[in-house]
Structure 1
Amino acid sequence: MASKGISLKSKGKATRGGGRGGEGSDKLKCLKEWGGWAMGKAKVITHYGFIPLVIIIGMNSEPKPQISQLLSPF
């Protein structure tokens, strides 16, 4: 009878080169986490800020349109 809870596969990535780059890998990990956080925030800002940005730019152009002209599809 085979046991269902035991797995012989290793979890995580195997590192090559022993313990090389301990402090450098911490900095790299921090940089990757910060980059992911920043990209997530940039995505949200772009998602919610695009249409208001278009409206603001449209309101400041010449000739000055009415808000209803900017929002209507015609």
Structure 2
Amino acid sequence: MALRGVSLKAKGKSSKGSKGSEDRSLSESVKEWSTWAMRKAKIITHYGFITLVIIISMNSEPKPQLSQLLSPI
């Protein structure tokens, strides 16, 4: 009898059919888009920060040359 109740619950959930699949596809689309956007934002932030540091340091006193900024010493 317990198996029969489980199968009825599964049928009840699947009877919503198209509305459930629409919600699922919408939520999957939002999840995929947000993942894509966060990856792009991470890359933009990373390279933007490096550029910002170089620009700020070049405008400071005393003015270093670009080769001095990029060398590890």
Aligned residues: 59
Structure with the greater alpha carbon radius of gyration = 2
- Percent of aligned positions that are identical: 64
**Whole-angstrom CA distance in 2 between matches of 1:71 and 1:29:** 43
In structure 1, the residue matched to 2:42 is 43
Where does structure 2 lack aligned partners over 5 or more consecutive residues?
Answer: 1-9
**Whole-angstrom CA distance in 2 between matches of 1:35 and 1:63:** 43
More helix by share: 2
In structure 2, the residue matched to 1:7 is none
Aligned Cα root-mean-square deviation (Å): 2.9
In structure 2, the residue matched to 1:18 is 13
In structure 1, the residue matched to 2:32 is 33
**Whole-angstrom CA distance in 2 between matches of 1:48 and 1:72:** 18
Where does structure 1 lack aligned partners over 5 or more consecutive residues?
Answer: 1-14
